[in-house]
Amino acid sequence: MIFNAESGELWSDTADPDRDGVPNLVEYILAREPLSAESGGPLAPRIDSSGRLELTFSTRAGFDGAVSSVAWTDRLDGGIWRTDGLFTELVDEDENTGTVTWRVTFDSADSLPPRVFFRLQAARAP
């Protein structure tokens, strides 16, 4: 839960006070501002020089009490979210901003599906 001292409201992890489509807990993990829709652009995958699909993003260096994971699917209409073929590596740690940059590479044993969708999940740690 996040308490907004300015308005006196208590927001849940799934609330989206800036209406940018990103829930509070995900914005917290990605070190974004939950009251500003302009605090970060979309996470955009790209094809790397080896032809693999790659997603790079930054998170808070330490987000106590929360966990995140990345999954992929080739269909948004009932497709199965999977983690096979994903390789996550730490790219950079920035002590000045308190963020860590991660790279997730999709390297399928088969050929790259015609469409791939990534999902960053966030949850409270058990």
What is the C-alpha R_g of the chain? 16
DSSP 82: B
Q: What is the pTM of this model?
A: 0.72
Q: From first to last of the 126 residues of the chain, give the pLDDT tens digit.
A: 555 556 655 578 888 888 888 888 888 888 888 888 887 777 888 888 887 888 888 888 876 777 888 999 989 998 899 998 899 998 898 888 888 888 888 876 566 778 888 888 888 877
Spatial contact of 13 and 25, defined as CB atoms under 8 Å apart: yes
**What is the distance in angstroms between the CA of the first residue and the CA of the last residue of the chain?**
15
Residue type for position 15: A
Bridge partners, 45 (sequence order): none
Q: Which domains does the chain have, with CATH numbers?
A: 1-36 (no CATH), 45-126 (2.60.40)
